[in-house]
Structure 1
Amino acid sequence: MAAGRTETCDVLVIGGGAAGLSLAHRLTENLAATVTLVEPPDGPLRPAERTWCYWGAGTDGLEEAVSASWSVLRVHGTDGRPLTVGPAPFTYRMVRSTDFERMVHGRLARADGARLLRATVESVCDVPGGAEVRCALPGGRFLTLHAQKVFDSRPLPGLPPARTRLLQHFRGWFVRTATDRFDPTVADLMDFRVPQPAHGLAFGYVLPLTPDRALVEYTEFSRDVLTTEAYEAALGRYCRDVLGLGALTVERTEQGVIPMTDARFPRRAGHAVFRIGTAGGATRPATGYTFAAVQRHGRAIAAALRDGHGGIPAPYGRRALAMDAILLRALDTGRIDGPDFFTGLFRDVPAERLLRFLDGTTSPREEWGIGLRTPVRPMLRTAAEVPFLPRRSRPAARTGGTNR
């Protein structure tokens, strides 16, 4: 085995997904320090190409990677009636992982003291003055990196114990239709005109790119994932029977699983080692939204390091997590009807406020007002029950491919 060498840096980020790329990007913007981003080399450990979407207002530094955006959103209830909202000043923005990766890699190449390293991380451990990361390089050599702080975005081997555990799982088709079938100005965020499962909820999701091209997804919030054949059948029915798309070509597919759980994700893996992304609790438990949270969290981490703060902030506050635990339990027990609940929120709450609520950035007063527009009695019953429920471990589904 070839001998290894040792190098040092101030901050080391592990992982080339949304969380790792986002933090590296924010660190090069805000921190006068040496930064190394470690990504897996080409091969099975590299994540597949995927799509991320988020709410944005004004300029946010990601314009170069945004491939499409929508200023009008639509929700279809189970009764088929459409509800259209304008969430100004927000727009719903799509980022393709390849574009985002290209942008961040370019900025790393131009920033003083920043670099990209393609290697497989073998181990991470605390050492005096920081942490040590041992990496296997593509040629078979080993490299040991010493850093003052390490941020690890790699998936956990299993989900922590939880009171409630659902999965947001989906499969999407990038379709091209024989004739113009889409309005590129309107995104269908939740279309509940699909058959609902016995447990949980299901909806269609349509992001039009041109009049004859769109990303069409079938999504479920439920306890277990489906087979690929079941997703394909559901997508076929949705495109044919609900959307009436006629002849179409599937140009590309993507599939993923996002944990929706009130588990307590450990944010530290050592004195100088911190978890980020879904592994660090950045996925909003009740909605699955992640991309916007890792942007906020990345900016907050960069600011904390720049200002010399010892602590690293959490992705969400305790209040948001407590509300999510109640909503998850109410959905899982069937005390509230999922399609009616989400349709009602879009009907009764101003869109801009609702989107901030879904991302966890509303004030207590705003959240109180939103809560009064939900089924109060079942929510109160669930709120009284949740603190006394035990947290249990369960086998973890393989997660990844988040598009939120």
Structure 2
Amino acid sequence: MKKYDFIIAGGGMAGLSLAYYLTQSTLRDRSILILDRDTKDRNDRTWCFWEPNAGPFESIVFRKWDQVSFHGTTHAKPLDMGGYQYKMLRGIDFYDFIQKELAKHPTVERKQATINRIKETPQGGFVIADDEPYIADYVFDSTFALKLDQPENHNLLQHFKGWVISTEKACFDPKMPEIMDFRVEQHGDCRFLYVLPFDEKTALVEFTLFNDKLLTDSEYEADLRQYIDQFLDTGSYQIAETEYGVIPMSDESTQENPTEHIIRIGTSGGFTKPSTGYTFQRTQRYLQGIVTNLAETGKPNRTQSWFKGRFKLYDSIFLNVLEKHRYPADDMFTRLYTDNRPAKVFKFLDEDTRLTEELRIFWNMPWGPFTVAFFDVLRRKMFG
């Protein structure tokens, strides 16, 4: 049985990003095994995120915009990005880039296999994939499935279906994406569309929901068609690509370091922002912290300030408002983005704000529903 320095269990966005950062660090000569059942050779997803500066994958960003449009209950115009850019990265471009970079390092090995088991042993992290055993000093696991069944927690889902459409008419503004359009029936949930234009006749149109119940394919498609027919002057159109995804929005406590030799990353490690479902940018920051600590101390544990824990409370309160339908979600997001400077909201969602900045944002939210949610969160955490 061959032993590696690092095994990456799961070669998706988190696993491939980690391998990339390891090869860009002083650890580039360590042996790395990446295990995944998929080949990552198709455009299976799109990541969108905001960023004030050039990031590590700037060269493969598919589109980026200096301004965005928001269509809420009382606001229908561009948002002032305040120096941020909204960026779109296609899955296939990311996979191709990472694979080319990793191919430069002979110490990186990739195997297509189904992971059967991951366990802690005195000798290191032990993995069985396709009934073959592997062991490493550290196993980075992105395959662990969260249970999402504890009554004291809030467990919603962000689920979406989108189409890349090619239209007969030039109906899109390539310089102005729509990041949230609430002009759809809410049905007591949080439902919105976003439209990311590639050019005047091509765009990704995606229908997104925050709730606890998935729809059927026909239901997603009915809302997509209704939105396109009602709000986009496309003429005829063709569907070039389809994407679908489900992201947990949960404040369930995760063990990023469950054992000495196993480290959970990605959604498995709690890298997804519970209140928004945004994962890509947050995962990059967390992984860079892991690699930095590993290179400097030999240990992969991220350094985390206890005071950062306040953001977990904020997430729980927000999820409680959504779960209990304490306030209309479309109006809540409208107030968030229009009663505060959007750049400050982006900074807050990135968990980079100071307490004084956070208090100003809270001041502009509906006090009653959020106060009730705050005490309900405390009750659930204390008594279950």
Q: What is the rounded CA distance, in whole Å, between the counterparts of 2:177 and 2:111 in structure 1?
A: 37
Q: What is the rounded CA distance, in whole Å, between the counterparts of 2:69 and 2:91 in structure 1?
A: 25
Written as runs of structure 1 = structure 2, the 5 A alignment for 1:224-243 is 224-243=213-232
Deviations 1:272-298 (A, max 9, x none): 101111111111111110001110011
285, 308, 313: which one pairs with 1:322?
313
Using the TM superposition, give the Cα deviation of residue 365 of structure 1 relative to its aligned residue in structure 2, in angstroms: 1.9
Q: What is the rounded CA distance, in whole Å, between the counterparts of 1:232 and 1:209 in structure 2?
A: 21
Flag structure 2 segments of 5+ consecutive residues without an equivalent. Answer: none
Taking a change above 3 Å as real, the CA distance of residues 64 and 145 of structure 1, as seen in their structure-2 partners, is farther
Partner in structure 1 of residue 83 of structure 2: 89
Give SS of 2:24's match: helix
State the percentage of identical aligned residues: 33
Q: What is the rounded CA distance, in whole Å, between the counterparts of 1:29 and 1:246 in structure 2?
A: 48
Partner in structure 1 of residue 23 of structure 2: 28
Give SS of 1:330's match: helix
Matched, 1:68 2:63: yes
Give SS of 2:169's match: coil
Using the TM superposition, give the Cα deviation of residue 309 of structure 1 relative to its aligned residue in structure 2, in angstroms: 5.7
Q: What is the rounded CA distance, in whole Å, between the counterparts of 2:239 and 2:96 in structure 1?
A: 25
Using the TM superposition, give the Cα deviation of residue 160 of structure 1 relative to its aligned residue in structure 2, in angstroms: 5.2
307, 323, 329: which one pairs with 1:338?
329
Taking a change above 3 Å as real, the CA distance of residues 286 and 127 of structure 1, as seen in their structure-2 partners, is same
Q: What is the rounded CA distance, in whole Å, between the counterparts of 2:42 and 2:121 in structure 1?
A: 30
Contact 1:38 1:119 in 2 (8 A): no
Contact 1:73 1:85 in 2 (8 A): yes
Contact 2:144 2:264 in 1 (8 A): no
Flag structure 1 segments of 5+ consecutive residues without an equivalent. Answer: 1-5, 137-141, 394-404
Taking a change above 3 Å as real, the CA distance of residues 38 and 310 of structure 1, as seen in their structure-2 partners, is closer
Structure 1 length normalisation: TM-score?
A: 0.88
Using the TM superposition, give the Cα deviation of residue 378 of structure 1 relative to its aligned residue in structure 2, in angstroms: 2.0
Partner in structure 2 of residue 181 of structure 1: 171
Partner in structure 2 of residue 355 of structure 1: 346
Partner in structure 2 of residue 396 of structure 1: none
Taking a change above 3 Å as real, the CA distance of residues 104 and 349 of structure 1, as seen in their structure-2 partners, is same
Amino acid corresponding to residue 133 of structure 2 in structure 1:
T
Contact 1:134 1:143 in 2 (8 A): yes
Amino acid corresponding to residue 289 of structure 1 in structure 2:
Y
Matched, 1:169 2:163: no
Amino acid corresponding to residue 302 of structure 1 in structure 2:
V
Contact 1:108 1:116 in 2 (8 A): no
204, 216, 221: which one pairs with 2:205?
216
358, 361, 365: which one pairs with 1:374?
365
Matched, 1:98 2:88: no
Q: What is the rounded CA distance, in whole Å, between the counterparts of 2:38 and 2:143 in structure 1?
A: 16
243, 246, 252: which one pairs with 1:263?
252
Taking a change above 3 Å as real, the CA distance of residues 315 and 170 of structure 1, as seen in their structure-2 partners, is farther
Partner in structure 1 of residue 193 of structure 2: 204
The root-mean-square deviation of aligned C-alpha atoms, in Å, is: 2.4
Q: What is the rounded CA distance, in whole Å, between the counterparts of 1:305 and 1:78 in structure 2?
A: 47
Contact 2:14 2:266 in 1 (8 A): yes
Taking a change above 3 Å as real, the CA distance of residues 286 and 14 of structure 1, as seen in their structure-2 partners, is same
Taking a change above 3 Å as real, the CA distance of residues 47 and 329 of structure 1, as seen in their structure-2 partners, is farther
Q: What is the rounded CA distance, in whole Å, between the counterparts of 1:57 and 1:165 in structure 2?
A: 31
Amino acid corresponding to residue 45 of structure 2 in structure 1:
R
Partner in structure 2 of residue 279 of structure 1: 268
Partner in structure 2 of residue 144 of structure 1: 133
Give SS of 2:156's match: strand
Q: What is the rounded CA distance, in whole Å, between the counterparts of 2:260 and 2:41 in structure 1?
A: 28
Give SS of 2:93's match: helix
Give SS of 1:182's match: coil
Matched, 1:190 2:185: no
Structure 2 length normalisation: TM-score?
A: 0.92
Matched, 1:120 2:114: yes
Using the TM superposition, give the Cα deviation of residue 117 of structure 1 relative to its aligned residue in structure 2, in angstroms: 2.9
Taking a change above 3 Å as real, the CA distance of residues 157 and 263 of structure 1, as seen in their structure-2 partners, is closer
Amino acid corresponding to residue 262 of structure 1 in structure 2:
D
Using the TM superposition, give the Cα deviation of residue 379 of structure 1 relative to its aligned residue in structure 2, in angstroms: 1.2
Using the TM superposition, give the Cα deviation of residue 330 of structure 1 relative to its aligned residue in structure 2, in angstroms: 1.2
Partner in structure 2 of residue 402 of structure 1: none
Q: What is the rounded CA distance, in whole Å, between the counterparts of 1:197 and 1:294 in structure 2?
A: 32
Give SS of 2:243's match: strand
Give SS of 1:260's match: strand
Select between 382-391 and 145-154 the one with higher mean Cα deviation.
382-391
Taking a change above 3 Å as real, the CA distance of residues 113 and 71 of structure 1, as seen in their structure-2 partners, is same
Give SS of 1:377's match: helix
Using the TM superposition, give the Cα deviation of residue 168 of structure 1 relative to its aligned residue in structure 2, in angstroms: 1.1
370, 374, 377: which one pairs with 1:386?
377
Partner in structure 2 of residue 139 of structure 1: none
Give SS of 2:103's match: helix
Q: What is the rounded CA distance, in whole Å, between the counterparts of 1:314 and 1:320 in structure 2?
A: 16
Amino acid corresponding to residue 124 of structure 1 in structure 2:
I
Q: What is the rounded CA distance, in whole Å, between the counterparts of 2:326 and 2:252 in structure 1?
A: 21
Contact 2:195 2:205 in 1 (8 A): yes
Give SS of 2:282's match: helix
Q: What is the rounded CA distance, in whole Å, between the counterparts of 2:303 and 2:264 in structure 1?
A: 10
Using the TM superposition, give the Cα deviation of residue 312 of structure 1 relative to its aligned residue in structure 2, in angstroms: 1.4
Using the TM superposition, give the Cα deviation of residue 151 of structure 1 relative to its aligned residue in structure 2, in angstroms: 0.7
Q: What is the rounded CA distance, in whole Å, between the counterparts of 2:214 and 2:311 in structure 1?
A: 26
Stretches of 4+ moved more than 3 A in 1?
45-48, 314-317, 390-393
